[in-house]
């Protein structure tokens, strides 16, 4: 083959590659436009759940409790993914060009194509996997919709100290749970717990709602033999959401407040009146209580969601990290759940460790 013929073939190859890259850039632009249209459609068809929650955030109706909250990087990511990104952030798009040219560099193909400046071997079929990767870039940007129910077989067991205790709780949690419309709402302050930790073994809570600074909160109460002493004690669960998300707290007052048994609406200062720091009646799960709690098992910011279940006559704490549970409910993923025996405020033992949703990688 003459040198002139080789040079002509190289020139033709350059032209074909430039044309292919031009088509790839056009395809990228089309995908970007489609992605933007998709995001616009998603915003227009946003569920009532997200709209309610977004409205609450936009109006800044979430009060700061206990001073200024520190927004950890972990939860900032959750807020962006589960509340803000779906509503106002641009379409989460990575540059297909950067992906493609990265591959081109790995294959010793020059990013800058000029006549006579081809570096390395060129083959038309190399563009097929490149285009495939460019398309795949856009396939992982879709966001999971909020769960409208807890599906069957949602939980798996990670560790168990007492199979006779753990097995019935796991079996109960693995039953499908669909919330009624009045509870399946963003403004249900116990939405995450009602959805993910509800059980046919749970104690019969009595629920009272009230308004705090214009947004709803709840106090659930029950009298149970929590310490297995043969005597019932009052347990109060405060359901609320703030700038760190949905969560609840447990309190062990000496008696159920009189306001709970009254027909009158609960006053908006009832939490401050009976359950503030001075009352010193909050049940806290602290990392120092057990060697079980490590950096990987202890929830972010020490925040839990709580329920109470009864197995074989014994009342047990059922808990989950509130931020991971909320993220699972709104965006998918997974979270850890724990069944614990209560002996005293300083002695709380983890008996079962479950995983809800996706398994840990």
* DSSP one-letter string for 168-212: HHHHHHTS-B---TTTSSTT-TTHHHHHHS--TTB---EEEEEEE
Residue 4: its pLDDT value, please? 76
Q: Tell me the CA end-to-end span of the chain in Å, nearest whole number.
A: 56
Rounded to whole angstroms, the Cα distance separating 155 from 10 reads: 60
pLDDT reading at 19 higher than 80: yes
What's the pLDDT band for 1 if we cut at 50, 70, 90?
Answer: low
Percent of the chain surpassing pLDDT 90: 48
Q: Mark out the alpha helices in the chain (DSSP H runs).
A: 3-44, 48-58, 73-79, 96-106, 127-136, 163-173, 191-196, 258-261, 270-274, 322-331
Rounded to whole angstroms, the Cα distance separating 218 from 272 reads: 14
pLDDT reading at 138 higher than 70: no
228 with 315: CB under 8 angstroms?
A: yes
Helix or strand holding residue 303 (H, E):
none
Is residue 10 classed exposed, middle or buried when 0-12, 13-18 and 19+ CB atoms within 10 A define those classes?
Answer: middle
What's the pLDDT band for 48 if we cut at 50, 70, 90?
Answer: low
Residue 338: its pLDDT value, please? 98
pLDDT reading at 186 higher than 50: yes
Rounded to whole angstroms, the Cα distance separating 348 from 110 reads: 63
Q: Which two tokens stand for residue 248?
A: 């609840």
pLDDT reading at 217 higher than 70: yes
pLDDT reading at 90 higher than 70: no
254 or 86, greater pLDDT: 254
**Lowest pLDDT segment from 41-45, 70-74, 281-285, 289-293:** 70-74
Q: Beginning with the edge strand found earlier in the chain, give each strand of the sheet holding 206-212 in spatial order.
A: 206-212, 215-224, 233-242, 245-251, 282-283
Picking from 84, 56, 69, the residue whose alpha carbon sits closest to that of residue 302 is: 69
- Encode pLDDT of 290-340 as tens digits: 999 999 999 988 999 999 999 999 999 999 999 999 999 988 999 999 999
Is residue 359 classed exposed, middle or buried when 0-12, 13-18 and 19+ CB atoms within 10 A define those classes?
Answer: exposed
- Residue 241's beta-bridge partner residues? 246
154 with 162: CB under 8 angstroms?
A: no
- Residue 209's beta-bridge partner residues? 218
Average pLDDT of the segment spanning 206-218? 88
Percent of the chain surpassing pLDDT 70: 69
Q: Are strands 233-242 and 215-224 parallel, antiparallel or unpaired?
A: antiparallel
Rounded to whole angstroms, the Cα distance separating 238 from 145 reads: 27
Q: Which two tokens stand for residue 43?
A: 């915003």
Residues with Cβ within 8 Å of residue 77, at least 6 apart in sequence: none
Q: What is the pTM of this model?
A: 0.65
């Amino acid at each position: 083959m003459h040198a002139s013929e080789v040079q002509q073939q190289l020139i033709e190859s350059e032209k074909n590659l430039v044309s292919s890259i031009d088509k790839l850039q056009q395809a990228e632009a089309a995908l970007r436009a489609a992605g933007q249209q998709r995001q616009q459609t998603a915003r227009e068809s946003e569920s009532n759940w997200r709209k309610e929650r977004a409205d609450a955030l936009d109006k800044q109706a979430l009060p700061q409790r206990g001073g200024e909250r520190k927004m950890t990087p972990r939860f900032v990511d959750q807020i962006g993914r589960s509340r803000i990104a779906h509503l106002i952030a641009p379409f989460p798009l990575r540059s297909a060009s950067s992906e493609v040219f990265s591959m081109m560099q790995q294959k010793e193909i020059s990013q800058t194509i000029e006549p006579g400046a081809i570096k390395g071997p060129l083959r038309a079929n190399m563009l097929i996997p490149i285009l495939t990767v460019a398309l795949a870039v856009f396939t992982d940007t879709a966001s999971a919709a909020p769960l409208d129910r807890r599906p069957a077989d949602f939980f798996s067991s990670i560790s168990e100290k007492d199979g006779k205790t753990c097995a019935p709780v796991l079996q109960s949690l693995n039953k499908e749970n669909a919330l009624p419309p009045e509870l399946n709402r963003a403004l249900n302050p116990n939405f995450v717990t009602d959805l993910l930790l509800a059980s046919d073994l749970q104690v019969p809570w009595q629920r009272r709602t009230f308004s705090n600074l214009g947004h709803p909160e709840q106090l659930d109460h029950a009298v149970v033999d929590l310490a297995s002493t043969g005597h019932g004690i009052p347990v109060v669960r405060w359901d609320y959401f703030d700038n760190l998300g949905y969560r609840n707290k447990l309190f062990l007052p000496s008696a159920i407040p009189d306001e709970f048994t009254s027909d009158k609406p609960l006053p908006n200062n009832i939490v401050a009146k009976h359950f503030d720091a001075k009352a010193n009646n909050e049940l806290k799960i602290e990392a120092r209580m057990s060697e079980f709690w490590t950096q990987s098992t202890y929830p972010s910011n020490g925040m839990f969601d709580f329920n109470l279940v009864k197995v074989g006559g014994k009342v047990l704490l059922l808990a989950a990290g509130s931020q991971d549970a909320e993220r699972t409910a709104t965006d998918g993923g997974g979270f850890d759940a724990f069944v614990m025996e209560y002996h005293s405020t300083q002695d709380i033992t983890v008996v079962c460790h479950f995983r809800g949703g996706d398994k840990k990688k």
